[in-house]
Amino acid sequence: MCGILGVVSYSPANQLLYDGLQVLQHRGQDAAGIATMDGDTIHLHKGNGLVRDVFRTRNMRALQGNTGIAHVRYPTAGSAVDHNEAQPFYVNSPFGIVLGHNGNLTNAEELKKQLFVQDLRHVNTNSDSEVLLNVLAHELQSKSKGLRLDADSIFAAVSGVHQRCRGAYAVVAIIAGYGLLAFRDIYGIRPLVIGVNETPEGNEYLIASESVALDTLGFKFLRDVAPGEAVFVDFQGRLYTRQCSDNAQLSPCIFEYVYFSRPDSVIDGISVHESRLYMGEYLADKLARIWPDVKIDVVIPIPDSSRPSALQLANRLNILFREGFVKNRYIGRTFIMPGQAMRKKSVRQKLNAIGLEFKGKNVLLVDDSIVRGTTSREIVQMARDAGALKVYFASAAPPVRYPNVYGIDMPSRAELIATGRTDEEICREIGADALIYQDLEDLKSSVRKANPAIAEFEASCFDGIYITGDITPAYLDKVERGRSAGKANKSADDDQMELELAMSASSM
C-alpha cells in the first residue's frame, strides 16, 4: 500500500506536496519521495524513512517548480531496505518521465522480459513500479506524433498500458515539457481522487490517493478518477480526461474501508467512517443472534481503526463503551519487527491497558481484522493481566484466509492465522473465551450501504477470488517463495549489520 500525490499549481509545489505526504503517511512509512518540474529540469529527492526524516530544509529548497508528484512507500514488491526502490522513479527517454505508483502488477516478471527483449528497455530494480514506468514510456514513444505529444496520443498511450499491465495501479506521472498525467487500473482497485482550487491566475489541480489530502490542502473535491480513466493537466492548467479502456468496471478494494484509508476520507462515494459505523451495526446484529446469553459488561476498541465499529456495536446493543488501551504513537509498526519475541515486545510497548476498565469485567474487544493473530493474542493476554474475568473478541472483518496480490503486503497463507483453521481453533490460538467474525456479505453491505451503485468489491483476502482472473495457485506459490527468500535475505542483512556494529565497537 502506498500514497501518491500530483499537483499543477501557480505557486511552489514543494511545501504543498510535503504537507500532503504528511496527511497520507498512514499509507506508507518505509520511504518517501518528491519530484518537481522547474522549466526543463526535474528535481527529485527520495529516501527511506518517514516524511519528516527524509526531507530537510536544503532538500525542500532544491525542489523548485509549480508542478510535482510525491509518494510514500509501503513495500509489497521488491525490497523494503533498498533505497533505490523508493519512489518516484525517473526515466529520461522519451521526453523525461517521473512516476509514482500505488498498487501491484501481477504480470511484472513477464513485462520485465518483454521490455528487455522487445522494447529494448532495462529495468534496474526489482520494483514493479519501475516496470510500469518503462511500459508507459514505451507506449508514449510509440503513440507520439512525430516525436511530439498531445492529449490524444497521451491517452492512447494509457490505453496501451491498460492492454499490457494486469493488477492494481493508481499512477501519477510528470511528462517533461507537457504536464501531469494520472490514471487508474480498469477495476479501480486502488483509490484516486482529483480536486481543484480556483485562484485568480486560474485553476490548480491536485490528484491524491485519498480525499483527506484535498481537504487539508484547501482543494475542493471534484470527483474520483474512474476505473480505466486517465487525467492529464498541462503546464498551463488545462484539464483533459478520457476513458481509456472498453472493459472498465469499478471493483474497489474492500480492505481500504476496513483498515487502510483514513476515516475522514471519502472513496468512490463512500465515507470510510460511515462504512465502519455500519460494520459495527451488522456485527452487533450477528452477535445478538449468535451470543444471546453471553453477558458483556463493556466494549473496548483496539485503537485506532476499529473505534467507529466498536462504538456503533456498543450503542446498538446498549452496552457500555469505554477506551481501555492507550496507544504509543511514537513506535514503529509491529509487523516489521524481526522475530516473534521482538514483535511481542513491540506490541506491549505500543499498547498499554487501563486496568480500571478491565478489572472484574467481562470484556468484548473489537478489532478491524485479524491477520497473523500475533497482536490479537498479545492483546487478549494484556486484558487478562489487567484483571478481566472473560475476554471475548470480535472482528469487524471476516477471516483473512488468502494473500492479497494487489498492493497490500498480506502474509503468505502459512502466516495467516485463519488459513486451515475453524473459528473455534482461531479462538483458542488467540486465547479468547469466544470469537466472532463479520460475515463477508455483511461487510460488503456495510460498505455498499453508503454507495449502492457499487456492485462488486475486490475482496480476495477474504474469499480467494482474484478479480483480474490471472492469479493461479502456481502464481501464489511463486509469490510466497519470493517472500520467504526476502525474509531470509533480510535476516542475513540484519546479521551483517550486527556484525559490522560489533566490529566498529571493538575498534573504538
Q: Note the pLDDT tens digit of each residue in 73-117.
A: 986 544 445 677 899 999 998 999 999 999 999 999 999 999 899
pLDDT at position 478: 85
pLDDT at position 479: 83
pLDDT at position 82: 64
Element (H, E) at 231: strand 229-234
Q: Note the pLDDT tens digit of each residue in 406-427.
A: 998 877 888 999 999 999 999 9
Catalytic residues: 2
Neighbours of 59 (CB within 10 A): 16
The answer to whether the annotation marks 367 as part of a ligand binding site is: yes
pLDDT at position 188: 97
Section 227-232 average pLDDT: 98
pTM comes to 0.90
How many helical (H) and strand (E) elements, i.e. helices and strands, does the chain have?
16, 22
d(CA 484, CA 414): 11
Confidence label for 328 from pLDDT (cuts 50, 70 and 90): confident
d(CA 115, CA 121): 5
Domains of the chain with bracketed CATH: 3-249 (3.60.20.10), 271-328+346-456 (3.40.50.2020)
Residue 369 burial (C-beta neighbours within 10 Å; 0-12, 13-18, 19+):
buried
- Polymer length in residues for the chain: 508
Section 308-315 average pLDDT: 98
Section 218-232 average pLDDT: 98
Tell me 429's DSSP state. Answer: H
pLDDT at position 234: 97
The two most distant CA atoms of the chain are separated, in Å, by: 78
